């Protein structure tokens, strides 16, 4: 309704008033977007019919891929980080400042768009194993891109550490009045607070005033799960709400939530040698506790581990039955939403997040799905949901 109503129709002002508790200039309710920033937030909540039928619950997914700047929930975060920095004088468009960030892609894309819209340059450091669509897009947006080999967070060459030092080097350069600003999505609390101020209130309004039984989301920085959980559980007092982490294979957060520690000593040694997180899934799963994940401490009730194969099968299921074409983290979220729903009484309402579109994952995730033979129509037609779960 948000998009359809831009020029033509009535908008749902009731929901909008509830959901505009923001520090930003998100869509003010007249249906006219104030620049590209005005297309951020107020995303629809889609009832996924096939998953609702198969589980006997109501599975609702927040269509974050419809955020209009960078096409992911990171639009909210990028806008909030920029606005907070502007308020603190750390960023100023007239000075020719550059925004630096370490990102697996989505945050970089949102920052690159908003940098253009607000008169900044963007410099993005990212691991070199991410889908090429993301760096191509950054290139066309005019961002400076550094793709670096996958390294542990203790390594100065890790993409986050590199972005931090590039920002410092920029500011220290004596021949320019401009500054480098390190956005720092992993540790900056402007990340989770964007979700606490916008995503959480929107979900509350869209579920008729908090009529939901579970919220399921993965964590890359932890901003989404912490911010939404904080709003719903603390600010709205929904203490019975089950908040469930959707964690891809190779990530340490599942153990952290279930057992209080990320890894045993032997696993720790193993992960040092392995890639950062051993999964094909992009954007969620991490082997350290960030400030943003920590902000949700005590608010996450459970975790569901999701394999790459389950994610691939779910992505294929969603496009086949519902025409919903998403990326890998959205598929992980939907698997965990189904696992959560199957443990709850029939009719329970489970809300999750569709993070980004499958178009951003054609060269990796979707190629893999095709290679698995999942796009063979005759093979999949008989499959039921339990086959997806494996
Ligand atoms: N999905 C995708 C595609 C992402 O890029 C990210 C963020 N890295 C997430 C999900 C996870 O969101 P968060 O950082 O809020 O935990």
Of 74, 134, 256, 305, catalytic: 74
DSSP state letter for 344: S
DSSP string, 148-199: E----TTSTTSHHHHHHHHHHHHHH-TT-S--EEE--TTT-THHHHHIIIII
pLDDT of 8 reads 28
pLDDT of 6 reads 28
CA of 381 to the centre of ligand 1 (A): 31
Cα–Cα distance for residue pair 336/154, rounded to 1 Å: 30
Q: What parts of the chain have a pLDDT lower than 50?
A: 1-25, 27-28, 273-275
Q: From the CB of 284, is ligand 1 less than 6 Å away?
A: yes
222 and 290 in contact (C-beta within 8 Å)?
Answer: yes
Global ipTM: 0.96
332 and 383 in contact (C-beta within 8 Å)?
Answer: no
Instruction: Output the pTM of the full model.
Output: 0.90
pLDDT of 68 reads 96
**CB 14: neighbour CB atoms within 10 A?**
9
- Which ligand 1 atom is at minimum distance from the Cα of 195? 15
Cα–Cα distance for residue pair 60/341, rounded to 1 Å: 11
CA of 199 to the centre of ligand 1 (A): 13
CA of 220 to the centre of ligand 1 (A): 5
293 and 189 in contact (C-beta within 8 Å)?
Answer: no
Residue nearest to ligand 1 atom 2, measured at CA: 283
Q: From the CB of 300, is ligand 1 less than 6 Å away?
A: no
Residue nearest to ligand 1 atom 6, measured at CA: 283
- Which ligand 1 atom is at minimum distance from the Cα of 221? 14
pLDDT of 18 reads 40
pLDDT of 377 reads 73
Q: Which of 133, 220, 244, 352 to mutate to test the pocket of ligand 1 (most atoms within 8 A of CB)?
A: 220
Q: From the CB of 329, is ligand 1 less than 6 Å away?
A: yes
Q: From the CB of 311, is ligand 1 less than 6 Å away?
A: no
Residue nearest to ligand 1 atom 12, measured at CA: 220
Q: Which of 186, 190, 221 to mutate to test the pocket of ligand 1 (most atoms within 8 A of CB)?
A: 221
Q: From the CB of 296, is ligand 1 less than 6 Å away?
A: no
Q: From the CB of 108, is ligand 1 less than 6 Å away?
A: no
CA of 205 to the centre of ligand 1 (A): 23
pLDDT of 278 reads 76
pLDDT of 4 reads 28
Which token pair is 317? 């299921």
Is residue 74 annotated as part of the catalytic site, yes or no?
Answer: yes
Q: From the CB of 224, is ligand 1 less than 6 Å away?
A: yes
């Amino acid at each position: 309704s948000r998009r359809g109503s831009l020029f033509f129709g009535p908008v749902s002002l009731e929901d909008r008033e509830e959901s505009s508790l923001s520090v930003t200039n998100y869509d003010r309710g007249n249906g006219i977007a104030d620049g590209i920033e005005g297309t951020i937030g107020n995303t629809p909540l889609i009832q996924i019919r096939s998953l609702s039928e198969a589980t006997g619950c109501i599975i609702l997914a927040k269509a974050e891929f419809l955020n209009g700047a960078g096409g992911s929930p990171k639009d909210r975060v990028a806008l909030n980080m920029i606005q907070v920095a502007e308020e603190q004088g750390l960023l100023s468009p007239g000075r020719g400042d550059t925004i630096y960030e370490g990102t697996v892609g989505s945050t970089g894309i949102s920052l690159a768009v908003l940098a253009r819209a607000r008169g900044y340059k963007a410099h993005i450091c990212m691991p070199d194993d991410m889908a090429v669509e993301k760096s191509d897009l950054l290139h066309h947006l005019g961002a400076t891109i550094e793709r670096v080999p996958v390294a542990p967070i203790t390594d100065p060459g890790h993409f986050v550490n590199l972005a931090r030092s590039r920002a410092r080097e920029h500011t220290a350069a004596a021949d320019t009045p401009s500054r480098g600003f390190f956005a720092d999505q992993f540790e900056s609390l402007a990340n989770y607070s964007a979700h606490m101020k916008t995503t959480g209130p929107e979900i509350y309004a869209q579920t008729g005033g908090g009529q939901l039984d579970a919220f399921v989301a993965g964590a890359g920085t932890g901003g989404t799960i912490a911010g939404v959980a904080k709003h719903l559980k603390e600010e709205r007092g929904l203490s019975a709400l089950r908040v469930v982490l959707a964690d891809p294979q190779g990530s340490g957060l599942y153990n952290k939530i279930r057992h209080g520690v990320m890894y045993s000593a032997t696993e720790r040694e193993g992960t040092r040698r392995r890639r950062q997180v051993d999964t094909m899934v992009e954007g969620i799963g991490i082997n350290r506790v960030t400030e943003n994940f920590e902000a949700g401490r005590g608010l996450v009730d459970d975790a569901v581990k999701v394999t790459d194969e389950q994610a691939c099968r779910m992505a294929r299921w969603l496009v086949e039955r519902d025409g919903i074409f998403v990326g890998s983290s959205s598929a992980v979220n939907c698997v965990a939403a189904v696992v959560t729903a199957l443990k709850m009484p029939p009719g329970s309402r489970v809300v999750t997040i569709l993070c980004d579109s499958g178009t951003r994952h054609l060269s990796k995730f979707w190629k893999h799905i095709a290679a698995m033979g999942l796009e063979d129509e005759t093979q999949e037609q008989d499959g039921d949901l339990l086959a997806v779960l494996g």
